[in-house]
Amino acid sequence: MNLRVQGPDGTTIIPHMGSYGVGVSRLAAAIIEASHDANGIVWPDAVAPFQVGLINLRVDDAACASVADDLYAKLQAAGLDTYYDDRDERGGAKFAAMDLIGLPWQVTIGPKGIAAGVVEVKRRATGDKQELSSTPRSSC
């Protein structure tokens, strides 16, 4: 690199150095090593590449696609980075991929939930799941 610096006495010095610091790739590897389970990565909220993983279980179902697209737009508008899995795959493959990726929150939209007026929300770190209304609340 032909780098030269001036020493304290004014003479030119060619520095010799190496880097053994914590770079981005080492940091990501350290986080994954410290925060994972048998199903994959469990990203801490502060460093996750996306906060939410949105799973549309039936991309060929108009109602599912409509609710998923609407929710995706609302999550984005709220400033939440959201990974939208709208691949034409079986549900099991989508669940496995989402756990492997390890995003902090997973929201699942499927025909049964839509019929019941709910979506399933899962916290990746704990596996806790709950159903939330898929219809907007009125402002009372």
For residue 41, how many other CB atoms are within 10 A of its CB?
18
User: Whole-angstrom Cα distance, residue 10 to residue 72?
Assistant: 61
**39-133 is a CATH 3.40.50.800 domain:** yes
- Domain assignments of the chain as residue spans, ordered by start: 39-133
Q: What is the tens place of the pLDDT at every residue in 54-91?
A: 999 999 999 999 999 999 999 999 999 999 999 999 99
Query: What are the respective helix, strand and coil percentages of the chain, to the nearest 5?
Result: 35, 25, 45
User: Whole-angstrom Cα distance, residue 134 to residue 73?
Assistant: 14
Q: What is the tens place of the pLDDT at every residue in 10-43?
A: 999 988 766 666 677 888 899 999 999 999 999 9
User: Whole-angstrom Cα distance, residue 57 to residue 111?
Assistant: 8
Q: How far is CA 79 from CA 23, 62, 66, in A?
A: 27, 26, 20
